[in-house]
């Protein structure tokens, strides 16, 4: 959205300064030719629009994949070899690790395709085409209530998706843009036979841990490698030893030429969610009421998990993936809160709203929109934290969450007129799925989390808003302090509940009993809080979200009309986007300059033997001492590790290819920087940077550290 505003904050703008070689926006590749191409050429792009996005011919979009629904990856060989981040493959790597074969800690690279390991449950999708289907949806929405509108959008979207899927050949999605003022159909192919090809040890792939997360300078070799397998017809197929390596329409050549400051850099991927149109009212609630609760609850869980993980290596392997997921957005919310305040983002939003109000005056469709949004947020403010206390607190316990899932089975068991066949279908569905809910479960950790989050709920929720069960617990254990009472209560729940053991749950499912389920203490615990939430807050919160959807749709439409001459981009929504800019250093604060790249020298400077986050494998230390960098050194003889660009990215871009002006891979995006943690809310050209692992460091680790020359030989290297 190249949007010009008068602003109270000089560094914040919604229009990139052309002179500084950056351009805000997560753009739709289908519109590249009309909106962005000339500027991209000016910055150094040498490709045609059709070489980036084409339906009928091979293009870059064919090499960019949606990785497991939450990340991005890129195909880098004509045998379906996929590169993505280490943290994107982390769950699969941890799942494939055992004490006897600990590839998470030791690393692994297959020396042949026969050694590649099936990553069960993982999938990727390639994009076939995009199509604007707004004219098939919008005319049918006039005069509908928000509930009716949502239902109609769902109905029409499903019909469009069904037709485009060609009887299941394609995975299709209709997604709304600009707060459902526009709709795009995405036609994709989904592949489920995905195999792990290789991963560095986590003290390379996750080097720096939580301390360095969201920070620059960075020294993390954040990559892992997988391969897509397909049937002999090259079509998606379930796992089979008969499957063959997928033959992509396009794979990215890999550049060894390196980078310089000012070089063109383009990122393609599947960014998850941004909220660039958020109002000042929404941000005030987010920063003052929601974020502190989210941070406190996750902080408590993380401390408990880490304490137990350090005691027992098997617990560490079991919980490490879940820990990383919880920690990632815990630190994100801390950074977001800090930067929203430091950069005065709320003041910036208020200035934009003043401009909008002046423009909207006398326009019936828009003149009351901001007042309506203000009133909606004022009523929401007092209850905004309640969903987070429930989700991030009470139901963050695996036992509580699993017990709550059984509400559906309880309702089926309670139905007097349900047929034996339908009841058995429900039971069979639970039998089929329940195991996956215990894959990252440890009894000691979970019991401690239940007690700790109960205590935080008690401390943070006003007395008049608390669930009655809290008072009952305090009364039952009145001789104890509240903290001790909740610990004692959690201990009793874990002694008596069947949900503390998958075996006990399966025994119950073999002979389910309504009476036994309703008497289970974990079920009673979970349902008491959920039912309290549903009775006291759900209607109000749902009404707020419905009202907000209506008013935000009008607000965004008005913003588009106000600046109708300017090219605008929609918020991210986990669909393919493109962002372009250049390699750029930055100054985070007065008298401090951050260079645009890091080297292995910085890796060694951070090295702390035996440390949980900054230990290193001896093999890497030996290579450093020998300065054995081979063809992966830069012109100064240094081994580059990471670099930064001013590309506009967010969560979901993890693993995205960073591509030079010739369409060659130069790195993988893996993080954003601390100084721009408000980036999902507003683009800040002075501070916003995309942190990338240099492809030369990736190849160095594969080749020199792991000795996987077979992988290097498979790539199209450009020197």
State how far the Cα of 168 lies from the Cα of 176, in Å rounded to an integer: 22
What are the Cα distances from residue 598, in Å, to 9, 218, 331, 448, 606? 31, 7, 23, 40, 12
Residues 6+ apart with CB under 8 A from 143: none
What phi and psi values does residue 111 have, to the nearest 5 degrees? -90, -5
> How far apart (Å, rounded) are the C-alpha atoms in residues 689 and 482?
45
Nearest Cα neighbor of 217 from 605, 631, 648, 691 is 691
**478 CB-contact burial (10 Å; exposed 0-12 / middle 13-18 / buried 19+):** exposed
Question: CA gyration radius for the chain?
Answer: 26
Nearest to 617 by CA among 284, 281, 202, 223: 202
Q: C-alpha angle with apex 441: 440 to 442, nearest 5 degrees?
A: 130
Q: Which of 34-57 are b and which e, b meaning 16 or more Cβ less than 10 Å from the residue's Cβ?
A: ebbbebbeebbbebebebbbbeee
Rounded Cα distance, 697 and 693, in Å:
7
What's CA 175's distance to the chain center, in Å?
Answer: 17
By three-state DSSP, how is residue 144 classified? coil
Q: Which residues contact 198 (CB under 8 A, 6 or more apart)?
A: 107, 108, 109, 110, 224, 225, 702, 706, 708, 711
* Two structure tokens written together for 452: 């700790």
d(CA 493, CA 529) in angstroms, rounded, equals 15
Q: For residues 696 and 643, what is the distance between their CA atoms, to the nearest angstrom?
A: 11
- Name the active-site residue from 582, 654, 656, 678: 654
139, 149 in Cβ contact below 8 A?
A: no
Helix 521-533 to helix 398-405 angle, to the nearest 10 degrees? 80
CA distances to 365, 397, 557, 558 from 561, in Å: 12, 47, 6, 5
Name residues whose C-beta falls within 8 Å of residue 163's C-beta, 6 or more positions apart in sequence. Answer: none
Q: Exposed/middle/buried for 129, CB within 10 Å: 0-12, 13-18, 19+?
A: middle
DSSP letters, 645-668, are E-----TT-TTPEEE-TTS-EEEE
Looking up tokens 């929401």 gives 380
Q: Which residues of 586-621 are buried (b: 16+ CB within 10 A; e: fewer)?
A: beeeeeeebebbbbbebbeebbeeeeeebebbebbe
Active-site residue, selected from the candidate residues 77, 86, 87, 397: 87
CA 399 from centre of chain: 25
Given the residues 193, 222, 684, 694, the one annotated as active site: 222
Quick one: tokens of 629?
């960098």
Rounded to whole angstroms, the Cα distance separating 299 from 330 reads 7
Question: Among 256, 225, 235, 248, which residue's Cα sits nearest to residue 63?
Answer: 248
Mark whether 222 is an active-site residue.
Answer: yes
CA terminus-to-terminus distance, the chain:
36
Go through the chain and tell me how many residues it has.
719
Decide: helix, strand or coil at residue 682.
coil
How many whole angstroms from its chain centre is CA 305?
21
The token pair at 386 is: 């309640």
As a whole number of angstroms, the distance between CA 364 and CA 552 comes to 15
For the question of residue 87 being annotated catalytic, the response is yes
Contact 183, 137 (CB under 8 A): yes
Tell me the C-alpha distance between 163 and 189, whole Å.
15
Which residues are tagged catalytic? 87, 222, 654
């Amino acid at each position: 959205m190249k949007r010009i505003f008068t602003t109270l904050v000089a560094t914040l703008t919604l229009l990139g300064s052309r002179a500084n070689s950056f351009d805000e926006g997560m753009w739709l590749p289908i519109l590249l030719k009309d909106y962005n191409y000339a500027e991209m050429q000016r910055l150094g792009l040498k490709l045609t629009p059709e070489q980036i996005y084409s339906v009928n011919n091979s293009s870059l979009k064919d090499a960019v994949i949606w990785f497991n629904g939450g990340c991005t990856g890129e195909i880098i060989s004509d045998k379906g070899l996929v590169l993505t981040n280490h943290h994107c493959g982390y769950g699969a790597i941890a799942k494939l690790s055992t004490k006897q074969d600990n590839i998470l800690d030791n690393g692994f690279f297959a020396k042949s395709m026969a050694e590649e390991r099936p990553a069960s449950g993982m999938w990727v999708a390639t994009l076939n085409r995009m199509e604007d289907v707004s004219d098939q949806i919008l005319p049918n929405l006039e005069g509908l209530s928000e509930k009716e509108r949502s239902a109609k959008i769902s109905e029409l979207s499903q019909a469009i998706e069904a037709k485009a899927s060609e009887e299941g050949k394609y995975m299709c999605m209709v997604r709304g843009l600009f707060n459902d003022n526009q709709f795009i159909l995405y036609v994709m192919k989904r592949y489920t036979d995905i195999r792990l090809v290789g991963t560095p040890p986590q003290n390379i792939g996750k080097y720096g841990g939580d301390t360095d997360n969201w920070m620059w300078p960075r020294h993390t070799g954040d990559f892992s490698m997988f391969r897509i397998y397909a049937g002999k017809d090259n079509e998606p197929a379930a796992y089979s030893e008969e499957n063959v390596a997928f033959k992509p329409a396009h794979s990215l050549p890999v550049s060894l030429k390196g980078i310089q400051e000012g070089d063109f850099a383009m990122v393609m991927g599947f960014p998850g969610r941004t909220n660039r149109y958020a109002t000042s009212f929404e941000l005030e609630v987010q920063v003052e009421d929601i974020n502190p609760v989210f941070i406190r609850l996750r902080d408590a869980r993380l401390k408990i998990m880490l304490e137990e993980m350090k005691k027992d290596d098997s617990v560490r392997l079991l919980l490490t993936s879940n820990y990383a997921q919880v920690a990632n957005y815990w630190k994100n919310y801390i950074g977001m809160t800090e930067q929203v305040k430091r950069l005065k983002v709320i003041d910036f939003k208020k200035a934009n709203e003043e401009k909008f109000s002046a423009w909207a005056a006398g326009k019936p469709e828009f003149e009351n929109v901001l007042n309506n949004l203000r009133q909606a947020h004022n009523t929401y403010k007092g209850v905004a934290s309640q969903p987070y206390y429930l989700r991030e607190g009470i139901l963050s316990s695996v036992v509580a969450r699993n017990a709550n899932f059984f509400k559906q089975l309880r309702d089926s068991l309670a139905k007097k007129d349900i047929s034996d066949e339908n009841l058995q279908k429900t039971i069979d569905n639970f039998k089929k799925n329940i195991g996956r809910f215990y894959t990252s479960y440890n009894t000691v950790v979970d019991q401690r989390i239940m007690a700790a989050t109960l205590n935080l709920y008690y401390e943070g929720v006003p007395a008049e808003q608390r669930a009655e069960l809290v008072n009952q617990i305090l009364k039952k254990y009145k001789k104890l302090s509240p903290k001790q009472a909740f610990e004692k209560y959690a201990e009793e729940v874990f002694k008596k509940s069947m949900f503390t053991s998958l075996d006990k749950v399966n025994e119950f499912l073999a002979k389910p009993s309504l009476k036994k389920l309703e008497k289970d203490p974990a079920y009673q615990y979970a349902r008491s809080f959920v039912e309290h939430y549903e009775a006291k807050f759900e209607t109000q919160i749902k009404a707020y979200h419905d009202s907000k959807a209506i008013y935000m749709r009008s607000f965004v439409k008005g913003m588009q009309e106000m600046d109708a001459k300017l090219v605008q981009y929609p918020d991210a929504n986990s669909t393919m986007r493109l962002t372009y800019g250049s390699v750029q250093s930055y100054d985070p604060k007065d008298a401090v300059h951050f260079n645009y790249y890091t080297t292995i020298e910085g890796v060694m400077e951070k090295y702390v033997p035996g440390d949980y986050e900054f230990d290193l494998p001896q093999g890497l230390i030996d290579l450093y001492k020998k300065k054995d960098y081979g063809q992966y050194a830069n012109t100064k003889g240094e081994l580059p590790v990471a670099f930064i660009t001013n590309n506009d990215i967010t969560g979901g871009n993890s693993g995205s290819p960073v591509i030079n002006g010739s369409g060659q891979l130069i790195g993988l995006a893996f993080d954003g920087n601390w100084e721009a943690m408000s980036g999902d809310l507003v683009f800040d050209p002075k501070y916003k940077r995309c942190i990338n692992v240099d492809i030369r460091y990736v190849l160095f680790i594969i080749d020199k550290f792991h000795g996987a020359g077979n992988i290097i030989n498979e790539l199209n290297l450009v020197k």
